[in-house]
Amino acid sequence: MIRVGIIGGAGYTAGELIRLLLNHPEVELCFVHSTSNAGNPLSAVHGGLEGDTELCFASEYDLTAIDLLFLCSAHGQSGVFMAENEVPASLKIIDLAQDFRDEHDGFVYGLAEWQREKIASATRIANPGCFATAIQLALLPLAAAGLLTDEVHVTAVTGSTGAGVKPSSTTHFSWREGNISTYKAFTHQHLIEINRTVRALQPSFDQAINFVPMRGDFTRGILASVYTECSLSEEEARTLYENYYATAEFTHLTHRALDMKQVINTNKALVSVAKYGSKLHITTAIDNLLKGASGQAVENMNRIFGLDPRCGLKLKASAF
């Protein structure tokens, strides 16, 4: 059994991660640390765990007693944790924040559709961001083939859980219900890792990736609409994407129109491509809390420990 601990256990991604780990056949969840909830049952914060576990949030932790540590604290706190704690050299780490996505301090960027072999031999993984995952899955095949030649235009909508568990003026029900809005247009922080990946695959690419994020009237999921000028025909583009994702366990090309309900509550990513004149339109859909966060983290854990990447992740979509 893989002995696992979690630092920062009160947020949405931690709640999903706990659910997955409790049902993973190869994992023993040893502790979930939370300073503000220490001593309280996990189910007191994550109501969906009622009846699933008697574990309580821990105030202390022993890093020598586990094989893998998940960091689920707020952005910026993972670096603080690593600096303030004596981390055993043998301890494997998966960070769900953005602190190490530039791969410093020995971390590997954990997008398996790009660098699965590197992940499998890594001891420290920086999990990708949710928008970044959806958008990169739309661009990887083109960048890998050196076919990005013009600006890329992205509009993507996310559910309210993407903003975290702490309520704000744009996440509470009365504002969000029946509403939609843009935010961080052209400046979203996930553009940094998207640009880094695309240029690693296609160093000659020097055009802008224009990203307009949107807040949606739903709790979870991301639908990304991406288009760019492309010389490929629709048939050639589909062949390119089919070949690129032929061995991917969770990312699948579909020839039908896709929607978010096909992926909600799963670690799947669906991709569709279509040609309109000279423009190639790529649509992707993921669950922001699973393929965009905790599910992808478990997928990376499986790869590190030589397990089937699908282990513990055979989940049914909430399609109706």
Dump pLDDT digits (tens) for 263-280.
999 999 999 999 999 999
The pLDDT of residue 151 is above 80: yes
The DSSP bridge partners found for residue 227 are 153, 281
Average pLDDT, the chain: 96
Dump pLDDT digits (tens) for 152-195.
999 999 998 887 777 777 877 778 889 999 999 999 999 999 99
Q: What percent of the chain is predicted at pLDDT more than 70?
A: 99
Residue with tokens 């975290």: 164
Active-site residue (options: 30, 56, 72, 130): 130
pLDDT score of 163 = 72
**Phi and psi torsions of 69, nearest 5°:** -120, 130
3-state secondary structure of 223: strand
Are the C-beta atoms of 157 and 134 separated by less than 8 Å?
no
pLDDT score of 242 = 98
For the chain, domains (ranges, CATH) are: 2-127+293-304 (3.40.50.720), 130-286 (3.30.360.10)
Dump pLDDT digits (tens) for 53-98.
999 999 999 999 999 999 999 999 999 999 999 999 999 999 999 9
**The model's pTM:** 0.96
36-40, 135-139, 231-235, 307-311: range with lowest mean pLDDT: 36-40
130 part of the active site = yes
How many residues make up the chain in this entry? Answer: 320
